[in-house]
Amino acid sequence: MKKLSILGVIILLVTGLEALSLSKEEITNMVSKIKKERLGIQLNTLDGTPNPFAIRKQVLEKKKVEEVKKVIKLKKTFTHQLTAILNNSGFIDGKWYRVGDQLNIYTITFIGTNSLVLKNGKEHKILKIPEREKKFKILKGDKK
């Protein structure tokens, strides 16, 4: 920490010495350039310009509304029901599907024992068999 503060002091001294090496004329010339009155834009010219922030705000609000509509639409349209899984196939909405099959815009990528995974780009959906549907057993052969 001490080394850092000593280094800072040395840098300030070197900078100060360089400033002292300027001649009086150079300093006067620099000050006169700074003092020179600079003309800006007239206020009456600004009266006719539209507010850029208000426009940007409207664009952002419009985009947000569109995004919300997309999310609502996706949630409404995704109403598939997985009712059974048997032999690496899922029974969805009255039809059997396997890995690689298309279900609307989704592709079935994995089928487990109680659920399956649907993928569309980076989006994943998991369909699970509802609890009430799980309570049956398939028996092989007759048991007497």
Instruction: Give 88-105 pLDDT, tens digit per residue.
Output: 999 998 999 999 999 888
pTM of the model: 0.41
Q: What percent of the chain has pLDDT over 90?
A: 17
User: Is 126 part of a structural domain of the chain?
Assistant: yes
User: Is 49 part of a structural domain of the chain?
Assistant: no
Give residue-wise pLDDT tens across range 18-44. Answer: 656 778 888 888 888 877 776 777 777
Q: What is the DSSP letter of 106?
A: E
User: Is 96 part of a structural domain of the chain?
Assistant: yes
Measured between alpha carbons, how far is residue 40 from residues 33, 35, 43, 61 in Å?
Answer: 16, 15, 9, 34
Would the pLDDT of 4 be above 80?
Answer: no
Helix (H) or strand (E) segment spanning residue 83: strand 82-86
Q: List the domain range (segments joined by +) for residue 80.
A: 75-134
Residue 35 contacts by C-beta under 8 Å, 6 or more apart in sequence?
A: none
Main-chain phi, psi angles of 92, to 5 degrees: -120, 125
Report the domain count for the chain: 1
Would the pLDDT of 118 be above 80?
Answer: yes
Residue type, 87: N
User: Is 37 part of a structural domain of the chain?
Assistant: no
